[in-house]
């Protein structure tokens, strides 16, 4: 019984930590003092590279402004959730239950953010010509290749020299 409770508590810590890290990464992607300005610059570069018409630029801007408002609301809810998690008292009798509740809430917020970003991406995709869609896909693949992901060592492709 005690061992089972200990395992559940450990599981809650692992889930809470994973969700905290995911939230911190999303906060970093959105925030910082230059977060909004950097998003505007990226959007402008994308518009230039895709050679968007004036009408498409207006649509693009409208989609991102609307999306930014909705995304910001989710982001703020994530911050409140993170703050609540930090304020929990580990010695409280119902600590594991509180962590589980906040972890579930965080999972729902992450889900909302993923869905929201996908909806914005689909709206942008719908306004592009087939050639622009192809170019956007190519740009996204190139961008993915530039960053180092977890597990990417000097040889790339997830190879690790310590295996």
Terminal Cα-to-Cα distance of the chain (whole angstroms): 38
Contact 46, 132 (CB under 8 A): no
pLDDT above 70 (res 18) = no
The string of pLDDT tens digits covering residues 95-117 is 999 999 999 999 999 999 999 99
The string of pLDDT tens digits covering residues 50-101 is 888 889 888 988 888 888 888 999 999 999 999 999 999 999 999 999 999 9
Q: Which two tokens stand for residue 43?
A: 């959007």
Contact 58, 66 (CB under 8 A): no
Domain boundaries, the chain: 2-132
pTM of structure: 0.60
């Amino acid at each position: 019984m005690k061992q089972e409770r200990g395992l559940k508590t450990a599981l809650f810590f692992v889930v809470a930590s994973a969700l905290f890290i995911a939230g911190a990464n999303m906060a970093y992607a959105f925030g910082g003092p230059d977060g909004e300005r950097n998003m505007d610059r990226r959007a402008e570069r994308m518009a230039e590279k895709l050679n968007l018409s004036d009408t498409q630029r207006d649509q693009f801007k409208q989609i991102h402004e609307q999306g930014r408002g909705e995304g910001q609301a989710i982001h703020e809810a994530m911050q409140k959730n993170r703050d609540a998690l930090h304020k929990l008292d580990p010695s409280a009798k119902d600590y594991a239950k509180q962590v589980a509740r906040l972890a579930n809430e965080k999972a729902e917020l992450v889900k909302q953010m993923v869905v929201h970003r996908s909806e914005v991406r689909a709206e942008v995709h719908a306004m592009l010509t087939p050639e622009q869609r192809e170019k956007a896909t190519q740009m996204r693949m190139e961008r993915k290749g530039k960053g180092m992901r977890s597990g990417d060592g000097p040889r790339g492709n997830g190879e690790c020299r310590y295996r």
